[in-house]
Structure formats: structure tokens, C-alpha cells
A and B are shown apart, each in its own frame.
Chain A
């Protein structure tokens, strides 16, 4: 029985406006210069059974799409599936950094209310030849075509090779334009007993599928190896690229064992205007964090039990979606859509009873180059079930009428609070503090807010029963 030994690739996209995901290793059929900037990958894993889902945000012409993914051993047709973008988008939204808002109550009557803002979801978003001839040509180069099939809109070929130069020649003949330096990396994977998973788009099947986008490719395998092979993907990168890795595991948080894990800044008050530019905020914050770590760390953006959330940026995933993503250990009767849907303005979202049992979701985000991440990312599942989320708080000052001695104290401490928010924001985003202050002034956070007094004389308020009207 074949033991899978999947070396996944690196894909996934985010943030970057020109995000093509699936960046693991773009190879273009045409000479179009393709860049890989960001990728989204979901890994569901327990007891060595792994399903990798690679989001495909490829923006170019479908006929130009082609990837090479090193895999541990032959992947047969039944081990490959295509999923829908919807599920990854949902997981992305569920784990996305979130902005929450609180309203200060009238300082004269203490009461808090919390509102939840829906988090900004960051992601924006050949001619057939006879099989015989192909196999013959491959064989002469020391390359064996182990499997060849079509799944969904993808034509897939699984290769094994003895020599990297033969493999390179074969891939070049097949029209895969391999970046410089690929031969060494291919050679390294060959020596590690890897096979190569090639996917191109079958245009007829794509047309028939009726989809306007390329769906995520999924591969299931069972192997001890728990890692993300990023090396091929760094070869044709024109600069740093991002990867967002979502993992679904049984025990707890997943972390890289050969790179540092750092939590993104979280749980602090930010100025109110951040609401209008949350995407920009998050991008700058991430840029700054990456810079502070010299681009050598992976950032933890979310770690939570899939059964609930607080606050929920999106509903937890339904059991059937989790199963599609590869959560094979979910045997409980399939609950339909879990729990009540939180609405803006609702108070805290309480744990949802059903949802994913024993499913812990981790969202890791890295920006890397071949220099800063020279080695494939080795992953390990820890027993850590501590929750973490990227959560930013907008705290609205009270703007109504407040007349009591406490009101003056309340307004006296506001400038200090606003200043603290401004400094924090400047610190984590690298934005100019004066710009921040002036934006705050314009967005309901004036640094000289005073208690609003009722302009009417006291006796009018005594008998203000609306008589005049």
C-alpha cells in the first residue's frame, strides 16, 4: 500500500491586491510572467491523516494555470477532490481579525453595551497527446508517469523521477516554465522520495463545470510528515509572499517547529476611525509586525475551538463543511447550521453547543522570502487549547447630555485615553501619530470633549412636559 508522504506546496492568498493564491509554484504555460504573492491553505489533520485544501485565486487565463506540488507518494484519483471557494471563504471570515465596538455609557448612569462589528474579511478577495507517447518520452528521461486523471476542472499527472535534470527536461518539454534554481530543489525532493503532483486546467471540463473561477484542489494522504513545502514557491517569487495557513486539528493549536511563532497585536483599544479603514489598518499592522520580526516568524492570528466564538466574525463552520475540509474524526450526528447567527448589536456570543466537536482551528500567517524562510515549514500540533484572536476594540465616548460631578471626571480622562489609543495605533501600524490625531478629531474623538449640558434653565427642565408643543 502506498504511504503518502505529502509535501504540500505553498499556496494561498491574501491582503495583496494582486493576490493570486496558489502561489506554491506557478509555472506558466505561456511566457506570461506570473508572480506569487499570497496563498491560502487549509490543513485538516489527526493521527497522520491529512487533507490539504489549496485555495486557488488565480486571476489569469485558466489555460495558463499550472502547478507542480511535491507530494510524498503516488496520489490516486480518489485521493483528490475539488471543493468550493465558499468553504475557505467561510473559514477565512470565521478566523479573520475582528473589530468590536463598545459605547461608553452615560457617566452619570454606569452601564455598558457592547456591539460587535462584523470583521473585515481580508481576502478580496493543452493539446492532448497520446498517453503512450508521453509515457515513453518520460521514461527516456527517467521520469515515470504514476497516475494521470482528471478531477473536476483539473488535469492531474503524478510523476516520480530518478534525476532532477531528467525531470526538469520533461517538465520543460511539457511547457512548464520552471524558475531558475528549480533543479536543485527538485533534486532534494527526489532524494526525499517525493513524487510530483502536476495540475493544469482542463478547459472543456472547466467550461462544463459552469464555474467562473478555479475551485480549490484537495488532496488526502496519510503520512507522518506534517509540513508545508514552501521552497519551490520561493523560487519564482518576485519578492516576499504571504501564506495564510488554516489548520483543523483534534488536540490543539498548531505551530511551526522550526520558526518562531508570534501573536499578532490584539485586544487593545484603537481609534474610532479605524472602522473606516480596517483593511488598511490590518495590512499596516501586519507589515509592522513582520518588520519587527525581520520576516522570520509566523504570526498567530486565531486559535480557537471550532465549537464557538466570542465575538463571532462569522458562524462556526457546519459539520458537513468541516468534513469536506478533511475533518474525518467528526462522527457525531451532523448538526445542521450551528447555533444562532450573531447580529450586530447583539451582546456577546455565547458558546454554540453543536458545531465542530473536537476541532481546533489555528490560523497562521507568514510573510517570507527564500532568505528568511530557507527551509520548508515543519509543523507540530501542540496540546495548547488556549484561545487567541486578533481583536481590536473601538470604544465610543459618551456624547449625550451628562450633568453630574462624575461627568467632568469622565471627560477629563478622555484625552489621555484617546492619546493612548493614538500611540498604540502609531506603534503597531507605523502610521504618523499627527495624522492619527487629526483623523481622530474628525471622527468623533476630539481631544477637548466636554460634558454636554442641557441648555435649558433648570426650571424648564423641571416642567418640561412638552406643553409648548
Chain B
């Protein structure tokens, strides 16, 4: 028998609320947004994947938060003309979470690896649109994401800050080196995709190093690789690839810098 537990200290509720709001926003204001049908199909795929995996691994509490966050992230970021691809993406995401693991931690952020996998295997079917949010929305959304992390007592607020500092530092450094006005760096920061990436992907505590210094190394590597892919290799999805690449070496960081493992606060553990 599955139980659904709710604990408001869990940062993921705030994440779901923030992503949900953004979904509603793009539903109303974006000409290239995803609709409810897309969200339903993605959600169906994610919950199905989660359910099957939990059944297979005999886990008692059906976790709906993770499928919801993954579905919302996928719906907001991934674009395709074929709705079944959302279903596939959600299944891929959930499968990666349960199947690609080292030391009881999954390697990849589920939404991130699904996006990267599809960009690589089906470039003629999917794309991502990083520039679809205006700047006013960006600031509002950024504030909410941040507030969500603080309110949710997430221990991983440092990950978001490390990453943003590194990435924005690189953007500013580039602008200074080129002698460009700082408006340009500011403009480059104002991407909705960057925010979703920062607050819902790279901050995923399950796929970041346990040690704080490890997290710093991890986020800096993502920022640097993503920045290079974007500006030197002209790969617009650079950050998504960068996270997937750095996630592969994350177990090494965990092995070198041992620290207590993160667990989501969900329900009272049975003794």
C-alpha cells in the first residue's frame, strides 16, 4: 500500500509551486509554450516511470514530488512537435534516476539527462528555446526561486549561489575583456532557461557533491564548461551538456571529499 506524505519543510513543494506558476505564465504569455496536454502527458510518463521503478525496487512511499518537478522542468524547457516525445522524455528521466546510480545516489539530474539524451539522439525532433522569457518575468521568477530555496530550508542554496556567481562572473569577465558594455552581460543573464537550470537542475541535492567544497568545484566546472560550449563552440544548450558531463565525474568528487549524504526531509523514518 502506497502512502503519500507531506512535509512543508520539504523545499520541493516550493519548487513545484514556482515551476507551476511559471508554467501558467508561459501558458498565457508565450506563443511557443507548452499546454496542459503536454504537461499531462509528461506527468503521466514520469509518474508511470516512478511507479514502476518503486514497485520493482519495493519502495513503500510513492514519491510524486520528483516526477512533478521533472515533468514541469521538461515541459518548460523541452520543445518538440511530437507529444509522445514528452512521454518518452519523462520515462527516460525517471529510468535514469533509478538505473544510473553509484553508491546509492543517482548520477544525473533526471530532467537534464532526458533533455541531453534527446538533443543527442533526436536532433531533428527536439530543441530548447532559451530566450523565451522577458526580463521582468526573469527578475520576478528569480526572486521566487530564491525565496523558495530559503523558505524550504534547502541545505543546497549554496549550490545555486556558487553556480550563479561563477557563471555571472564569467559573463562579466568576458564583457570586460571585450570592452563590451555590462548591459550585454546583464542581457545574457536574463534567460528563463538559466534560472530553471540554476534552481531546479544544478541544485538537485541528490546529484551534487555532499561536501561543500566539492559543490563549489562541481558548480564552477559546470559554469566553465557551459560557458565555453556556448561562446567558443556556439552550442546554445551548452549548460545542459555541461551539467551532464560534470555529473559523470561527481562520484569522484564525493569519493575524494567525504561528507554526510543528503536526504530529503519527507516523513518520519521508521526505526
- B131-A184 in contact (CB<8A): no
Query: Contacting chain A: which of B48-56, B157-165, B172-180?
Result: B172-180
A-B contact pairs, 8 of them (CB 8 A): A257-B236, A258-B188, A261-B31, A261-B129, A296-B135, A384-B32, A384-B79, A384-B81
Beta-carbon nearest neighbor of B186 in chain A: A374
- B124-A251 in contact (CB<8A): yes
CB-defined contacts of A294 to chain B, threshold 8 Å? 134
CB-defined contacts of A164 to chain B, threshold 8 Å? 179
Q: B132 near A: Cβ within 8 Å?
A: yes
- A383-B123 in contact (CB<8A): yes
Count of chain A residues near B, Cβ 8 A:
35
Beta-carbon nearest neighbor of B80 in chain A: A383
Q: B181 near A: Cβ within 8 Å?
A: yes
- A374-B183 in contact (CB<8A): yes
Q: Chain B residues in contact with chain A, CB under 8 A?
A: 31-32, 79-81, 123-127, 129-135, 177-181, 183-184, 186-188, 191, 233-234, 236
Would you give the shortest CB distance from A34 to chain B, in whole angstroms? 24
How many Å lie between the Cα of A191 and that of B117 in the bound state?
34
How many Å lie between the Cα of A287 and that of B191 in the bound state?
25
Q: A260 near B: Cβ within 8 Å?
A: yes
- A383-B81 in contact (CB<8A): yes
- B178-A260 in contact (CB<8A): no
Contact of B31 among A191, A252, A262, A296 (CB under 8 A): A262
- B126-A383 in contact (CB<8A): yes
Beta-carbon nearest neighbor of A181 in chain B: B181
- A260-B131 in contact (CB<8A): yes
Would you give the shortest CB distance from A179 to chain B, in whole angstroms? 15
CB-defined contacts of B81 to chain A, threshold 8 Å? 383-386
Known: A188-B178, A191-B178, A261-B129. A378 touches B236 (CB 8 A): yes
CB-defined contacts of B234 to chain A, threshold 8 Å? 224-226
- B187-A375 in contact (CB<8A): yes
- A255-B187 in contact (CB<8A): no
- B179-A382 in contact (CB<8A): no
- A263-B31 in contact (CB<8A): yes
- B79-A382 in contact (CB<8A): yes
CB-defined contacts of A256 to chain B, threshold 8 Å? 131
How many Å lie between the Cα of A57 and that of B51 in the bound state?
63
9 tightest A-B CB contacts, nearest first: A382-B127, A374-B183, A224-B234, A188-B178, A263-B31, A257-B236, A187-B179, A375-B184, A380-B236
- A187-B178 in contact (CB<8A): yes
How many Å lie between the Cα of A188 and that of B124 in the bound state?
34
Would you give the shortest CB distance from A214 to chain B, in whole angstroms? 32
Would you give the shortest CB distance from A274 to chain B, in whole angstroms? 23
CB-defined contacts of A257 to chain B, threshold 8 Å? 129-131, 236
- A184-B127 in contact (CB<8A): no
CB-defined contacts of B127 to chain A, threshold 8 Å? 252, 380, 382-384
CB-defined contacts of A255 to chain B, threshold 8 Å? 32, 129, 131
How many Å lie between the Cα of A207 and that of B123 in the bound state?
49
A 229-273 binary contact with B (CB < 8 Å = 1; else 0): 000000000000000000000011001111111110000000000
How many Å lie between the Cα of A300 and that of B80 in the bound state?
18
